[in-house]
Each structure stands twice: as C-alpha cells, then as structure tokens.
Structure 1
Amino acid sequence: MKPHVICHMISSIDGRIVVKHWPDPASMRGEYERTADTFDADAWMCGRITMEDFAAEGSVSKPAPASPLPRTDFVARKDAESYAIALDAHGKLNWESGAIDDDHLVAVLTESVSDAHLAHLRERGVSYVFGGKQDIDFARVLEKLGDTFGIKTVLLEGGGGINGSFLAAGLIDEVSLLIHPTADGLPGTPTLFDRPQGSTGAGAALELTHVERRDSGIVWLRYRVRR
C-alpha cells in the first residue's frame, strides 16, 4: 500500500527554498518543525543534497567486503516509531549510525552502488531499499516503504528536484506550504518544484484546503492534489 505523501516545505514569497541567507532563521525553523509535528507522520524524506546536513562529515573508511553483496533490500530495523528516508541513488552519503535523532535511517539506492558502500550501511545499522538499476522508481520505493516498514504517512521535504519528480509522477497527495515573509530573488536557486529536464504539459492542479497566519508573518497554506 502506497503511503500518503505530504510535501511539507517553507519558501520565500517567490517560491525559493534555500533558506540559509534569509532573516530570522530561528523562528522560521521553529514554525516549520511545529507545523510538521501536527501531521504525526511515520517518516520524513529528503534528497541527497538536503540530507548532507545529517550525514557524516569528512571521509569514512569503507573497505570492500570479502564477497559481493546481493542487490536485495536490507532491513536493520522495522519496528521504529518513525523513519528518516534518504534518497541517495548512487551511495554518496556516509553515516555515523543508523538513526537521525530518534528516527531510524533508511537509504534509498540504485543497484549501481558499490559493495563497499552497502557494507558500510550494514555496519552502521542503516536499512536500505533499492529503487531500480540506475534510476529510482519513486512509486516502487513508496510501496516498499509501506510494505516493509509499515509506513502510512510520509513528509516529503525536498529539495526542488525531488519534489518535482514526485509531482510529475503523480505521487504527492497534499502540499503543506509555509510562506516566509522574504522576497529572495536570488537567481538560479531551487524552487519548490523543479520538474525533470524535458518535462512538458500542464502542472498539477491543487485545491486549497486551509489558510492560517502563523507567528513572524508566516502564512500556512494546505492544498489537496486533484486527481
């Protein structure tokens, strides 16, 4: 069963999502996390670039195992109360442990990753699932997360390329958007949804379901994705 996917993001009024140069970062982070908690989700999911903030710093020794490892899913733990899902197609992220805070870590990989990286994940207690040979099939991954870990609700938290790919594949059910009172205007920075190169056709139609003013001039908008 596919989990319910809520794309939960914060953006400037012009739709940009790189927040490090925005004013008032403490209140922004507080409102973002407080709002995320209202969903009581089983898991949160981010792409590789976003997940770099949580990964191990510097180089990590990853000796190759004595024999090749099978390209089958590995479950280090399936009874966690919550999960952190790292979309890391080519195995570029290294980890200190199998948890981010209290959330069990699940890496989403392709079969192109090295045996040494798989051994590293196993040694650290990180679960992993395969999404395809060279590219990730996001629909397949969601089904695995539901079937294997019992995940029912996922907060999809970017970046823009991941959000855009999920949107283009029709896998997002709701959008939760906090609009920060910042006019960014920085050219070339990611936006909420950056569809894959070569995408054509109309964007997704949304239905507004909630509007709320939050602290520090932030506005919370919720949408249902129309099918």
Structure 2
Amino acid sequence: MYPEVIIHNSVSLDYAVTGFAIDLGQHYGALLAFAPDATLVGSATAKSGIERFLDITEPETAADRHRPAVRADDPRPIGVFVDSRGVLNGLLHFYRNLEHIKDVVVLVSETTPEDYLDYLREREYPFIRCGAERVDLPAALRELRERFGVSRVVSDSGSDLNNVLIRDGIADTISLIVHPVVAGDQGKKLLCPVGMRAKLALQKAEALEQGAVHLVYAVLKEAGDPQP
C-alpha cells in the first residue's frame, strides 16, 4: 500500500507554473497545512529551485557530507527527490540544509549512474532503487511507507511528475493556488497530455490575499484504476 498522494502547485489563470511571481508564503503555507510526512519533487524542479532561490555557488562543507540525526518526534516532512539520471549530483546539500525538511531521500532506478550512487552513499543520503530505466513510482512510494513510515506525500513539482501521478492513478488530491494573472506563452503548463482522463470533485474553494484562490479537488478513482 502506498501513501496518500496530494499534488500541490501554484498556477496562473491559464494553468502555467512559471512566467509569473509566486507567493512563496501562500504556497508553502497551504502545502504544510496538509501536514505531509514527505514532499515529493522531481529533479528538474529541484535544480530549478536551487538556481532561482538559492546561492548555487555555496560550497558543500564537511558537515554537509553527513546525514543529520532525525528525531521521531520531528514534525517536519522528509524531502523526497525523484532523480534517476543524477541531475542533483553535487547539489543535494542545498536541500539537506533547508529548515522546513528534516531529511533527504532520493528515488533512483536501475540505470542511475554509479557515480551518483557513490555520491549518495558517501554523503549518507538514503535512497530507494525501483524501476528499470525510470523510477517505478508506485513501488518506490510503497517502500517509502514501509522504510520511513510515510503515510501522506505532497508532490510539489512540475508537469512531468504530475503527469505520472495522474496517469498511473496514484494521485488522490489536487491542490491549486490560482493567481490572478495570465502567463501566456511565458509559462510552462501544470499538466501536459497525460494519456488518460481524470474526474475530480471540488472539496474546497478559499479566497486568499492578493486575489488568489485555493482550490482543492479529490481525484475520483474508477474501476480498473491501479490500487495502492
């Protein structure tokens, strides 16, 4: 059985995730209100976040090479990164140092480069290896629950990962903070064609500051959908 999975993102009125200013306080306030045990981020989104919001020239220190102690009573989520290609090689210390996550776990596949696996082992990053060429997300999520006690995951990522979560019937909820702006051609869309339709049921519509609206939808599962 895999954990409950919530897709969360901030979007424009034309459902772009880039090309406009995101209110980080609103975004992460709504995300953390779900009280997730883990956040799920794709490698491209994670690297982009470092480039946009952090000092990418900040060097790794000796302390960054060791996994910090994780207390059982620490309410912060685990940061889980889907990275079968080793995109985050040399960069994970930025996330290890973030205040709002307590640990970093990486999801990889059988074709993940060995030098990246060595990097993870040497720096004590736990990793889950599932799937042949790409990460087998259902299997990895099940192992995430078994090994780390994760019962709720919030995906905070881009279209590639969101597409898989919807296409494979993994997502249970979609949470969107809709900003009053049209990104037009400047914005990358939240979802690309996912290969299947998904029926949704509105659970929440809350007006936020600066004209934004928080919408929460349940993903209605149908007969034949993959089971946890």
Instruction: Give the TM interval when normalised to the shorter protein.
Output: 0.7 to 0.9
Q: Per-residue CA shift, 1:158-191, capped at 9, x if unaligned? A: 211110111000000011110011111116x432
Structure 1 residue 100 displacement after superposition: 4.5
Total equivalences in the alignment:
203
Give the 3-state SS of the residue equivalent to 2:185 in structure 1. Answer: coil
Q: Distance in 2 between matches of 1:32 and 1:57?
A: 22
Q: Is the 8 A contact 1:161 1:195 kept in 2?
A: no
Q: Distance in 2 between matches of 1:100 and 1:190?
A: 28
Q: Is the 8 A contact 2:70 2:102 kept in 1?
A: no
Counterpart residue identity of residue 194, structure 1: C
Q: Among 34, 37, 46, which residue is 2:32 paired with?
A: 37
Q: Among 73, 82, 85, which residue is 2:80 paired with?
A: 85
Matches within 5 A, 1:38-53: 38-52=33-47, 53=49
Q: Report the more deviating stretch, 46-55 or 128-137.
A: 46-55
Q: Is the 8 A contact 2:109 2:136 kept in 1?
A: no
Q: Which residue of 1 aligns with 2:108?
A: 109
1:209 to 1:96, Cα distance in 2 relative to 1, 3 A: closer
Counterpart residue identity of residue 2, structure 2: K
Runs of at least 5 residues in structure 1 that lack an aligned partner in the other structure: 62-74
Q: Distance in 2 between matches of 1:106 and 1:54?
A: 17
Q: Identity of paired residues, percent?
A: 25
Q: For the aligned residues, what is the CA RMSD?
A: 2.5
More helix by percentage: 2
Give the 3-state SS of the residue equivalent to 1:186 in structure 2. Answer: helix
Structure 1 residue 79 displacement after superposition: 5.5
Q: Distance in 2 between matches of 1:78 and 1:130?
A: 22
Q: Give TM-score scaled by structure 1 length.
A: 0.81
1:110 to 1:176, Cα distance in 2 relative to 1, 3 A: same
Matches within 5 A, 1:34-183: 34-52=29-47, 53-54=49-50, 57=56, 81=74, 82-94=77-89, 95-97=91-93, 99-101=96-98, 102-183=101-182
Runs of at least 5 residues in structure 2 that lack an aligned partner in the other structure: 61-66, 222-228
